[in-house]
Amino acid sequence: MKILVTGVAGFIGFHCTLRLLEQGHQVIGFDNLNAYYDVRLKQARLDILNSRTNFDFEFGDLADHKAVSALFERGNFDLVLHLGAQAGVRYSIDNPFAYIDSNVTGTLSVLEACRRTDVRNMIYASSSSVYGANVEQPFSVKDRVDRPVSLYAATKRANELMCESYSRLYQLKLIGLRFFTVYGPWGRPDMAYFKFANLIRSGQPIAVYNHGKMGRDFTFIDDIVDGVCAAVYRISDPDTPAAHKVYNLGNSKPERLMDMISFLERALGEKAELRFLPMQPGDVYETFADISESTAELGYEPKVSLSDGLNRFAQWHAETYWPLFSK
């Protein structure tokens, strides 16, 4: 298939594209390489992808609907994997317009381009953040999700509602994937486990919010890629109806923040200096994915434990990231 991947230089976009290329698909990647975190890391991911003969890269901004439309008109895509977005819960408090431009306007650009060029199949990234202030766990895709605690979460829920309307209006096949705390090699330096690793190696203290009384459903990147590729297979099946469907992709095993720190210390071979702080605005106490529908309909079964995943991350951090990007 010929697949467009937006956000291709991002963490999940990079790993998904690698797998799709290995499976023999032709992939066109689209990204604006913004400076939310170190652009050198994004460029290094892109350099790896550019070495593949079945990959081409297009630089551009999702909010530029004319550029997105032109890309679709010449692309003749079979499927769109829409992973491009402005990430980060806390950053959305300080820079709200970046989230509307990228996540809302950007997704509308892609949906409109799909409609106008008759691209019927699209998979897009949602987030566990849409569950917001919900307290009943595990989080189920059947739960109401109308109490977001950050603008980032609100934009991701807006994406789901936009896709629901476009599927009904134009008979598109759309799958939304609610990712739960994705981590691993080539990850995002703004995420807690990655920031902790950098600070520990630098001999600096780490900030532990809510005094460590938090839990996250940490999901290793390889498991996420398995789920995305299962969604690609499902949406490409001619027997899959033209509808909008949302799935959770998590490990379905929330881990205590303090346990994560202990696993990371062992993986790095260094002890952390902890600085305990109150809860931050926009954060939630715990995430926990109900993956029963993902397992039943996508065959999704996460395999990597947090300790094993952090060991793999720590090895990459020591061998690749720290020597190249720590300065």
Hey, what are 67's tokens? 């550029």
CB 149 within 8 A of CB 284: yes
Residue 66, CA distances (Å) to 72, 292, 312 in order: 10, 40, 41
Residue (of 316, 158, 174, 156) closest to 245 by Cα position: 174
Of 152, 193, 247, 300, the catalytic one is 152
Residue (of 190, 224, 186, 197) closest to 42 by Cα position: 186
Spatial neighbors of 301 by CB under 8 A, at least 6 apart, are: 226, 295
Looking at the DSSP assignment, which residues form a beta bridge with residue 28?
A: 4, 56
In angstroms, rounded to a whole number, what is the distance separating the alpha carbons of residues 153 and 11?
Answer: 19
- Is 170 annotated as catalytic? no
CB 228 within 8 A of CB 16: yes
H or E stretch including 56? strand 55-59
Hey, what are 54's tokens? 């079945």
Active site residues: 152
